Structure 1
Amino acid sequence: MRSYFRNFSCFIFAITVTAFTQHSFGQNSKKEYLNRINIIQQNINKFFYVEDKGLYLETIGKHEKPFSYLWPLCALIQATNETETLGYKNTMKPVVKAINQYYTNEPPSPSYQSYINKSSRFYDDNQWIAIAYLDAYNRTKDAFYLDKSKEIYSWLLTGYDEKTGGGLYWKEDEKTSKNTCSNGPNILISLQLYKITKEKKYLDTALLVYDWTNKTLRSSEGIFYDAIKVASSKIDYATYTYNTGTMLQANALLYEITNDDKYLNEAKIIATAAEKHFYQQDKLPDHYWFNVVFMRGYLELYKIEKDLNRLNFLIKDAERIWNNERDENNLLGKGKNKSLIMQAGMLEFYARLAQLHLTKS
């Protein structure tokens, strides 16, 4: 009898833990996330994709240019890689074709410009593409993705110098600032290339940029500032979720590569500080794509820790957005002028949550 009650108690405890986990973390079923992914993907194709041009609109309402700048496509290419990870077919293909129209052979090295006509080149735009392409390469082993990432990496090195002690600039033709958004992602690309090729030069680059970013742009509590102005060496103290997210992910990756506890400890410090800093009044700041880049860092740490508590606030914010910031057409974002980058940000967000498999269906 005692054995029966002990076994029954264990059974009830298991059910309770499962129910508590799903309730407390607000995690939907995978089926629900897939439903949201379908809706968002259909809306992107319906409202933003210009099929006869193979390009995308930046916003539904008024827009500065006939077609999107490159930046929103940097968000969409990562989002479609995540949907293909879930088993969707050929969602990346039209985005890759669109991105190809931004390609330029301009010296000193080929890369992608900010618009389809001759325009400025941003180091971070190219970095986001390389990050997505390296993820796609790891998934598919298609050499196109690795070759393009290496090409981007070569161009990125032209944006590094020793002014302000090191670091990469943000914009090629206006070398006025060195930003976390053009250094954190560079670390991630370098680390991914090192993991794939085992060539030490990539790890050396990652550590060089990592050390400079920490020395120059890290706050005392572990949040990363926006930039340093080159002429004055003054810090722009603005903080954005994605900047801290890339450095969180960099530390987690460095731990995975080196097994050095200092990187894991730093990742934990950043993760704790960032939740406190950015998650205010039960919400994250309004930029969905910034926030999903932020989430990538937590997911990299989750691979190591397996601590669901780290993800709770991110899951809750994804629910808040779906429930409160969605219009009658299921387009996401505040205001009437819906943007491609916000749809892409949440497409990636829900795709990554669907990949977690915290629930069975």
Structure 2
Amino acid sequence: MRYTLSTVIVLLGFAINSRAQTIVDYQHRIDIINSNIYKTFYNKKAGLYFETNNAADNKGNYSFLWPLCALVQAANEQEEADPSKQYIAPVLRAINKYYSARPPAPAYQAMVARKKVDSRFYDDNEWVAIALMDAYDRTQQKQYLDISKMIYKFLLTGHDQVGGGGFYWQEGKTKSKNTCSNGPAILVALHLYKATGQKAYLDTAIATYNWTKQHLLSAQDGIYYDAIRVPEMKVDSAYYTYNSGTMLQSAVLLYNATHEKKYLDDAQDLARSAEKYFYKDGKLPGGYWFNAVMLRGYLELYNIDYNKTSLQFIIDDANRIWTQERDEHNLLGTKKVKTLIDQAAMLEIYTRLMNADF
């Protein structure tokens, strides 16, 4: 079919106007969610956040670290959209209240440190480092790099050769090596390699990628299992979207770092398999933040192949959530009690989609 020049101009104008309206819609959602977080989930005096909007469920405690891992990443995306604002600062001040200097290496623990000595999870720390390295790439602020290097040193205390390599999930618990601790470890190492050029980081990333792919990639479904028990090497066959997300993003970033096509092939195969497995009946599984992490991988791949159709299902699901899973207070989630992590996840998703170069 041939188009006249005037028709092309009309179609182009329509596309531009449509994208402009989409950005306005995303910004509207972002403003509402951000306002709700600081109105409902934030104690300004303490500089800390609540896990839910229900005091009985919170049991007098502030949030676990995990929701803040989601919020600090969303804050980085917001600053990318509007660098004149400081969205990261209040979240990072809160995260610093989870800091624990105890041996063998400093890191962040699961609960506010003044409350109690608590467990430290390798994945929680990795999510913080990933967000801060994204911020470092954007701003070159040294504190973000310094914290990420500290976290990397902590991660190394959770690595050994039981089962041939890999990172444990929780400090002191040596029975489980999870995709959720190995996929993000690859990303932390690759970010640090990009920032410093030190080959040891790249070596860690490649070794961890190879180990995770060997032991946790499902030959049947083409996506990643949740964990493997060591030393017996028994797989936990559960699937979660974020595990495929981190490994998808890792494959793309390894391709960028090495220019070896096998990593891009891995990424494209995984992207097709994850959509096929997870997107059923017009929706993704519950767990907004898991899906936010998966979106990161698809956007990383989009930056290589510019194939927007490969992530249209995530866009459609995000729009469905705003329409179907929002209460009268504009809080998001399918349950009566709303959570900080759900608000932070959707804040990240809408901001990333607004920032994307579609």
TM-score, normalised via structure 1 length: 0.93
Q: What is aligned with 1:262?
A: 262
SS state of the match for residue 4, structure 2?
helix
Shift of 1:63: 2.3
Shift of 1:17: 6.7
Q: What is aligned with 2:199?
A: 200
Matches for 1:20-39 after TM superposition, within 5 Å: 29-39=22-32
CA–CA separation in structure 1 for the residues paired with 2:6 and 2:145: 49
SS state of the match for residue 176, structure 1?
strand
Higher mean Cα deviation, 349-358 or 75-84? Answer: 349-358
Q: Deviations over 1:120-144 (max 9, x none)?
A: 0000000000000001111111100
SS state of the match for residue 29, structure 1?
helix
Matches for 1:311-350 after TM superposition, within 5 Å: 311-350=311-350
Q: Deviations over 1:209-263 (max 9, x none)?
A: 1110000000114200000011432100000000000000001111111111111
Higher mean Cα deviation, 255-264 or 298-307? Answer: 255-264
After superposing on structure 2, the runs of 4+ consecutive aligned residues of structure 1 that deviate more than 6 Å are: 20-23
1:170 and 2:169 matched: yes
CA–CA separation in structure 2 for the residues paired with 1:86 and 1:36: 14
Q: Deviations over 1:58-104 (max 9, x none)?
A: 01122255110000000000000000000151111110000000001
CA–CA separation in structure 2 for the residues paired with 1:286 and 1:202: 34
1:96 to 92, 95, 98: 92
CA shift in 2, pair 1:247/1:337, >3 Å: same
1:82 and 2:81 matched: no
The structure with higher relative contact order (CA 8 Å, sep 6+) is: 1
Residue 112 of structure 1 contacts residue 121 of structure 1 at CA under 8 Å; is this kept in 2?
A: yes
Higher mean Cα deviation, 329-338 or 223-232? Answer: 223-232
CA shift in 2, pair 1:22/1:262, >3 Å: farther
Structure 2 residue ranges without an equivalent (≥5): none
Residue 30 of structure 1 contacts residue 357 of structure 1 at CA under 8 Å; is this kept in 2?
A: no
Q: Deviations over 1:304-359 (max 9, x none)?
A: 0011111210110010000000001100001110000000000000000110143x
1:109 to 102, 105, 108: 105
- Whichever residue aligns with residue 166 of structure 2, its letter is G
Structure 1 residue ranges without an equivalent (≥5): 1-5
Residue 179 of structure 2 contacts residue 226 of structure 2 at CA under 8 Å; is this kept in 1?
A: yes
Q: What is aligned with 1:296?
A: 296
Shift of 1:16: 3.9
Q: What is aligned with 1:3?
A: none
- Whichever residue aligns with residue 40 of structure 2, its letter is F
CA–CA separation in structure 2 for the residues paired with 1:208 and 1:131: 19
RMSD (Å) for aligned C-alpha atoms: 1.9
SS state of the match for residue 121, structure 1?
coil
Q: What is aligned with 2:287?
A: 287
1:59 and 2:52 matched: yes
CA–CA separation in structure 2 for the residues paired with 1:350 and 1:156: 30
